[in-house]
Amino acid sequence: MAKKKDIHFDISERKILLRIFDLVFIFVSLYGVGHFFEFDYFYIDNNNWAWIIILALYISVFGTVFELYDLQKASKPDSVLANIVLTVSVTVLFYLLTPYFTPFLPENRLQIFYFYLAITLALVVWRLAYINFITSPRFYKKALIVGEVSNIQPIIDAFKGSDPNYKIVGFINCEDRNYDAIKINGIEEFQPNQMHAIIAKENISEIVVASYNSETITSDIYHDLITLLERGFPIKEYTQVYEDMTYRVPVQFVGKDFYKYFPFSRSNQNKLYLFFHRFFDMFFSIIGILIGAVILPFILLGNIVANRGSLFYTQERVGKNGKTFNIIKFRTMIKNAETNGAVWATKNDSRITFFGKFLRKSRLDEIPQFINILKGEMSLIGPRPERPYFVEELSQVIPFYETRHIVKPGLTGWAQVKVRYGSSVDDSLLKLQYDLYYIKHRSFFLDANIIIKTLSTMIFFRGQ
């Protein structure tokens, strides 16, 4: 009798699960409060669907801003409880302040507390259930890696850091050359003739083939993989799994067949997408400049007291198609910060003033770049523009680095909301992987996701 398969959820499935059941538990809770108690601020019937839609929208947006759908944080009770309080607090506040679309404020203000408590308890109950059941080992997605020994370690590290529910059971060396049995971070090596037995014993969900060169795969392993594929068993190529799990393109694993990995988004040539992209660039840049004008006196005062240099700072950067332009920022460093030439900015850089740290953490130093966006030199979203000196240096050591220049650089971007610092070649490689992922998957949805995550970066003061 065949062994019963374990149930597991992919990353996208778990994120959908979180969003759907957040709303289900909230509306069931509110319905219960309205049915069993004297609570009539928010009641569910056929006449108030707008109230339900607005509440669902607020929960989704603010839940994303406060990282309620970050799978790493969603699996930790302390993180998720703090994020629930933040999400519910801001959601209820906005809900109360938009009475044109939501119920009018009740005469009995205690009902506001019931409303807040019902949503909070619903989310706490559901998320604790999620942590204790969905993120438990019974729902792990188990994988077996087949590849060269030299290629396996970085892939295992990347997978482990991306999805807490993805478990690599072991690996099989696919090369003819024999190695002594080794262990990588406690992950066992199996022999090729054990493949079918391990799949049955461990309830393996998929095989990941991690090979730089398919010619190194032995004929016996190749035959076993073909047999499994013909039976409908999932077999995936490691760069595909890497990209799906980490949301970045693994350029360090790409060789001469690079064209397989860069089927760039059709949005890069889609005239409708590009038109609206530019329209929103101009719209938000005008709003950004107006906001900048309002807070300019406060920044000017802080600059006079702490920075003691010119308010604005310009620097040459590389834009689309390698064309250079001068980026505009509020000064955050001491005067003459680079007397000995270009230097990487680092975490806790001594050249950054106290007021400059505040500007960087809050991203307020970037406000003048709305002028660059209005001029068409930059976009609201895209890879961050780098200095020509560093572009030349990085292009020599990082493959495909200049590929990031096929789109306009951005005020914010996928790499900026995923990685905090870029002070070395390794950091630049990591950021490039995210930049190429954005270029490859560019869309309205991804742009909106970046905007929301940028707000989260600003709120939690994670700027650079």
Q: Which of 173-187, 277-291, 382-396 has the lowest mean pLDDT?
A: 173-187
User: Comparing 133 with 464, which gets the higher pLDDT?
Assistant: 133
Residue where a domain stops, chosen among 70, 102, 134: 134
Q: Is the domain of 286 the same as that of 390? A: yes
User: In angstroms, what CA-CA distances link 8 with 72, 134, 144, 235?
Assistant: 16, 8, 15, 16
User: In angstroms, what CA-CA distances link 79 with 153, 324, 420, 443, 452?
Assistant: 29, 42, 19, 30, 19
Tokens 């020994």 -> residue:
149
Q: Is residue 312 part of a domain?
A: yes
Task: Give the predicted TM-score (pTM) of the model.
Answer: 0.79
Give the separation between CA 418 and CA 217, rounded to whole angstroms.
Answer: 35
Residue 53 pLDDT > 60: yes
Q: Is the domain of 180 the same as that of 311? A: no
Q: Is residue 398 part of a domain?
A: yes
Residue where a domain stops, chosen among 214, 246, 278: 246
Q: Is the domain of 451 the same as that of 437? A: yes
Question: What burial letters (b/e) apply to 430-450, b meaning 16+ CB within 10 Å?
Answer: bbbbbbbbbbbbbeeebbebb
Q: Is the domain of 176 the same as that of 48? A: no
Q: Is the domain of 94 the same as that of 187? A: no
User: Comparing 457 with 321, which gets the higher pLDDT?
Assistant: 321
Q: What percent of the chain has pLDDT over 90?
A: 34
Q: Is the domain of 47 the same as that of 144? A: no
Q: What is the pLDDT of residues 193-202, one digit of tens each?
A: 889 999 988 8
User: What's the chain's length in residues?
Assistant: 464
Give the separation between CA 342 and CA 19, rounded to whole angstroms.
Answer: 46
- Residue 1: band (very low, low, confident or very high) from pLDDT cuts 50, 70, 90: very low
Residue 260 pLDDT > 50: yes
Residue 83 C-beta-side C-alpha neighbours within 13 Å: 26
Total domains in the chain come to 3
Q: Is residue 447 part of a domain?
A: yes
- Token couple for 288: 């950004």
Q: Is residue 6 part of a domain?
A: no
Q: Is residue 363 part of a domain?
A: yes
Strands (E), 5-152: 141-147
- Please report, for the domain that includes residue 154, its CATH number: 3.40.50.720
Residue 2 pLDDT > 50: no
Average pLDDT over residues 186-205: 87
Residue 100 pLDDT > 70: yes
Q: Is the domain of 445 the same as that of 313? A: yes
Residue 152 pLDDT > 80: no
Q: Is the domain of 120 the same as that of 145? A: no
Q: What is the pLDDT of residues 426-443, one digit of tens each?
A: 888 889 999 999 998 899
- For residue 210, what are the domain limits? 140-246
DSSP code, position 131: I
Q: What is the pLDDT of residue 256?
A: 61
Q: Is residue 1 part of a domain?
A: no
Q: What is the pLDDT of residue 293?
A: 93
Residue where a domain stops, chosen among 102, 134, 166: 134
Q: Is residue 261 part of a domain?
A: no
- Residue 292: band (very low, low, confident or very high) from pLDDT cuts 50, 70, 90: very high
Q: In whole numbers, what is the pLDDT of the chain averaged over residues?
A: 84
With vertex at residue 458, the alpha carbon angle to CA 308 and CA 12, rounded to the nearest 5 degrees, is 155
Q: Is the domain of 23 the same as that of 126? A: yes
Average pLDDT over residues 396-400: 86
Q: Is the domain of 130 the same as that of 144? A: no
Q: Is the domain of 430 the same as that of 298? A: yes
Q: Is the domain of 229 the same as that of 308? A: no
Q: What is the pLDDT of residue 91?
A: 93
Residue 410 pLDDT > 70: yes
Q: Is residue 66 part of a domain?
A: yes
